[in-house]
C-alpha cells in the first residue's frame, strides 16, 4: 500500500467527519501516520469504513425546541496517549437539543 492511497483514504474520512463526528477522533489518530503507514494502520482505516457502512442510516438531526439554550461540555485526558504522550481534549456545544459544534485535540 502506498502513502498516496493512504492519504486519499484519510482525506475522504476527514471530509466525512463534518456529518459523522463520531469518527473524528479515530480518523485523527490514523492521520498521524500518513508519512509511513503500516499494515495495521490500513486495517484501522478499513475498520472505519466497515463501521460507516453499518451505520449509514445514522446521522445528525436538528429539531426546533421551545427553549433554545446553549450547553457546552468538555473533557480532557492528560498525557495518556501511549504513542506520543500528549494530552487529549474534546468538547461539544448544543443549542436546544441539537449538536452545533465539536472539537477533539
Q: Which long-range contacts (CB under 8 A, 24 or more apart) does 86-89 make?
A: none
- pLDDT tens digits along 9-61: 999 898 888 778 888 888 988 888 888 888 888 889 999 999 999 988 876 66
Q: According to the model, what pLDDT value does residue 56 have?
A: 83
Q: According to the model, what pLDDT value does residue 63 have?
A: 66
Q: According to the model, what pLDDT value does residue 68 have?
A: 75
For residues 68 and 6, the model is more confident at 6
Q: According to the model, what pLDDT value does residue 103 have?
A: 83
For residue 90, list its beta bridge partners: 75, 104
Residue 3 grid coordinates? 502513502
Is residue 103 within 8 Å of 24, Cβ to Cβ?
no
For residues 4 and 79, the model is more confident at 4
pTM above 0.75, yes or no: no
pLDDT at 80 over 70: no
Q: According to the model, what pLDDT value does residue 1 have?
A: 62
Amino acid at each position: 500500500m502506498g502513502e498516496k492511497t493512504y492519504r486519499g483514504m484519510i482525506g475522504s474520512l476527514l471530509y466525512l467527519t463534518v456529518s459523522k463526528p463520531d469518527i473524528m477522533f479515530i480518523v485523527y489518530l490514523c492521520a498521524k501516520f500518513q508519512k509511513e503507514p503500516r499494515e495495521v494502520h490500513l486495517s484501522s482505516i478499513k475498520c472505519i469504513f466497515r463501521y460507516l457502512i453499518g451505520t449509514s442510516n445514522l446521522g445528525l438531526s436538528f429539531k426546533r425546541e421551545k427553549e433554545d439554550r446553549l450547553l457546552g461540555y468538555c473533557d480532557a485526558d492528560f498525557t495518556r496517549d501511549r504513542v506520543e504522550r500528549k494530552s487529549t481534549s474534546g468538547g461539544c456545544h448544543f443549542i436546544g437539543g441539537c449538536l452545533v459544534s465539536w472539537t477533539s485535540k
